[in-house]
Structure 1
């Protein structure tokens, strides 16, 4: 949460807070009125934010309006479908708001920043491994903010390198390590959009059941990235200047981050087991509470009480931080809305044309998900949009005769690969800006071979899961 300021107050930030509170209430009670209110607040939030966002976001709004008109003209149950799509968008807004609270609290923590500096300043032989593991650990809490944080600290540590060639090579390797570390969280993290959306689209399973297989996918991504970096490490004509080793023991230096992760992950799992609420509901209710507690423990100016300081930081988050995220909120809501409503409209079109995806071989459906999701990212489709559009068109895991975990692993694996290659995703855009290259170069240029190798490994993995 940012430092409180007496200026730049924007009360529109209360609207996504209302969405989050309604979704939390609905997750625990199942009351339809709370789901309805969440959708109404989400729609109002997007309408207000649209007036102050870019033309590209307006284009998504135009597509959404066109889909609503198409649905109204062709389907008698169109209002129900629009309601479902709005609730899907509201879920994304609520999760983004909850995670935004802990992300902004972390960015103001000196102990978290020191964790990042420790990882970024490791000697070259350990740097890739430290940053890819760090990118994973930070990514669990900060999402793509981990790339911004660690990437900035990496650039800071490289500023002392006098050789341009060595600095350019190190910049690329460090950014790639952080990118791949973050992307691997998309395979399994209960705090990420990938898992939240996928579990709503694949019925009959929960996070606890699919976590072991999806964590294995993440480990494969981390190890494959490290192996490729080791094998293809570029050689330089001049030896790099020697550096003093970074002092400090790993567990001691990373303790603040590990403690935070332990509190959040164990708390989410415990809340899920004790209350029976879905993991997404546990995340949204626990994470903001942890963020508030963390802010309360952080240093504050002299003469200001803890309660007053914490309250002012919360107000700064609501009235300053959230309104600044309006572009991201509009994009994420529209991705969920368009994907859900688009799938609703496409199903009868495919049936009328005799296209029955249930007749496709199961192995082909699973493998296609690994590759199609990152391919759609190359043409500008956010993974939320691609997954929300594609998955409802497919037969269920039960109809295909496979464990649901195989379908979930295929979806999240493809989502993770899109996170390393799509020039339109936040993770690639941030890496490109910090690496001073184009998004295409930071995506396919840096990770093209990695995606081919990792896509093949994940394809074999999901087929193995399907056969189990």
Structure 2
């Protein structure tokens, strides 16, 4: 037996810790993940390896110079286990998606209908799938797009233009996940650090930001999607779309129901229900527990780069948050209400800039969320900086050449990650930033 089984073991232990409220199970999950990544460190991509080395250096420096309290280590272990399992658990939806024939017709359905709704429908569909599949949505839509376009006699130029239009629209849809989805890592971190800030309290602001982003990209990207539809010239009807919609709504409804009747958040409910549903379906279909275990293990191994990034980012953010004088910074920021809006603007820009430089957005998210938790403890309204952080994380996902979503699009399109991040999205980010700043100022005015 290879050590690959440590990944699903870690996820199972973390889910058991969530359900049973037993922290030692979470610590055991962190140990399982640590052993796996130590054994397979050389198999990781360059960026995760670089992030792991930086995390180790920061951790050693914190131990040597800051001398953190012993109570920090169990918290860090739980944090690492939670965020590593978060991606591993939700990523299992890829196994279900591979068995749904309706998904092969998805692009045909999305390219049909009125040109007015063409772009927003594509964006919202990508965001909806991304809320469940996470990064698996990028692989799913890009992979099915490549197969879909092979069915038609397109020129190389038409194929490249079509790939660009659909992929950039898909990426914009993925950027809506932190703003709208109860399963997003943004909501997961903010609600974990500040239980008073739930998905229901933040989604109205996220919806406004999402609307702004859709409007900004509407005109330009609609032209490219229309050109692709005209070049394809397929007017036949896609099959299975009502069933796909009903299934998606039932899944989201089950997540909401579990969150409402238990003390689990929406994100935690998704972490529990997605693996339970997928594994149950696979057992019913395959009739072989061993085959299912092998598929689940292989799926998690295929995502080990992303899982490692999330785990390292959680550890790095937790260490920096523990050794940084967050209490002193929070006390200073609490003196003046104007600092609240400045913190929101800083969270928006710093998350994007650091992501462009190679720092995973989840590190900025974890660190800023820790600061906001201190402010909330002092009685400061933190909705304004939370909105800035949420919007910054959203744009950082599509504007960083080192991000998993950008790397996936680069692989499928044949373009460099820098062209995908800056060439495809530079004008979009520059156009939407002023609108997001207006949203921050409006939130500050409303909360004050």
TM-score by length of 1: 0.83
CA distance in 1, matches of 2:322, 2:270: 28
| Structure 1 vs Structure 2 CA RMSD | 3.2
| Preserved contact between residue 118 and residue 246 of structure 1 (Cα < 8 Å) | no
- How many Å apart are 1:151 and its aligned residue? 2.1
The match for 1:6 is none
Structure 1 residue 334 and structure 2 residue 312: aligned?
Answer: yes
The gaps in structure 1 that reach 5 residues or longer are: 1-9, 299-305
- How many Å apart are 1:164 and its aligned residue? 4.3
CA distance in 2, matches of 1:67, 1:375: 20
CA distance in 2, matches of 1:234, 1:114: 16
- How many Å apart are 1:355 and its aligned residue? 11
CA distance in 2, matches of 1:20, 1:366: 34
Greater shift, 24-33 or 410-419, is seen at 24-33
- Over residues 386-408 of structure 1, what are the superposed CA-to-partner deviations in whole Å (9 max), with x where a residue is unaligned? 21233334552464743x44333
Structure 1 residue 137 and structure 2 residue 128: aligned?
Answer: yes
Structure 1 residue 410 and structure 2 residue 398: aligned?
Answer: no
State how many pairs are aligned. 441
Aligned partner (choices 19, 36, 48) of residue 57 of structure 1: 48
Structure 1 residue 107 and structure 2 residue 86: aligned?
Answer: no
The match for 1:7 is none
Aligned partner (choices 245, 249, 271) of residue 258 of structure 2: 271
Structure 1 residue 70 and structure 2 residue 61: aligned?
Answer: yes
Structure 1 residue 382 and structure 2 residue 382: aligned?
Answer: no
Structure 1 residue 455 and structure 2 residue 423: aligned?
Answer: no
| Preserved contact between residue 120 and residue 130 of structure 1 (Cα < 8 Å) | no
- CA distance 1:140–1:398, change in 2 (3 Å): same
- CA distance 1:267–1:229, change in 2 (3 Å): same
Structure 1 residue 255 and structure 2 residue 255: aligned?
Answer: no
- How many Å apart are 1:122 and its aligned residue? 7.0
CA distance in 2, matches of 1:438, 1:376: 20
Structure 1 residue 432 and structure 2 residue 419: aligned?
Answer: no
| Preserved contact between residue 71 and residue 78 of structure 1 (Cα < 8 Å) | no
- How many Å apart are 1:380 and its aligned residue? 0.8
CA distance in 2, matches of 1:115, 1:234: 14
Aligned partner (choices 211, 222, 229) of residue 221 of structure 2: 229
- How many Å apart are 1:136 and its aligned residue? 1.6
Structure 1 residue 307 and structure 2 residue 287: aligned?
Answer: yes
| Preserved contact between residue 120 and residue 150 of structure 1 (Cα < 8 Å) | no
Taking the TM superposition and a 5 Å limit, the aligned residue runs for 1:284-323 are 284-296=271-283, 307-308=287-288, 311-323=289-301
Aligned partner (choices 210, 235, 250) of residue 245 of structure 1: 235
CA distance in 2, matches of 1:135, 1:355: 41
| Corresponding residue SS for 1:378 | helix
The gaps in structure 2 that reach 5 residues or longer are: none
- CA distance 1:227–1:202, change in 2 (3 Å): farther
The match for 2:176 is 184
- Over residues 263-292 of structure 1, what are the superposed CA-to-partner deviations in whole Å (9 max), with x where a residue is unaligned? 221111111111222223212211111112
Structure 1 residue 218 and structure 2 residue 196: aligned?
Answer: no
The match for 1:4 is none
Structure 1 residue 206 and structure 2 residue 206: aligned?
Answer: no
- CA distance 1:44–1:233, change in 2 (3 Å): closer
| Preserved contact between residue 213 and residue 432 of structure 2 (Cα < 8 Å) | yes
- Over residues 347-377 of structure 1, what are the superposed CA-to-partner deviations in whole Å (9 max), with x where a residue is unaligned? 27x969x994545621111122222211111
CA distance in 2, matches of 1:122, 1:148: 25
| Corresponding residue SS for 2:179 | coil
| Preserved contact between residue 92 and residue 332 of structure 1 (Cα < 8 Å) | yes
CA distance in 2, matches of 1:448, 1:399: 38
CA distance in 2, matches of 1:260, 1:296: 19
CA distance in 2, matches of 1:371, 1:158: 37
- Over residues 374-432 of structure 1, what are the superposed CA-to-partner deviations in whole Å (9 max), with x where a residue is unaligned? 11111111111221233334552464743x44333322211110111111111111222
| Corresponding residue SS for 1:62 | helix
| Corresponding residue SS for 1:396 | helix
Aligned partner (choices 21, 25, 32) of residue 34 of structure 1: 25
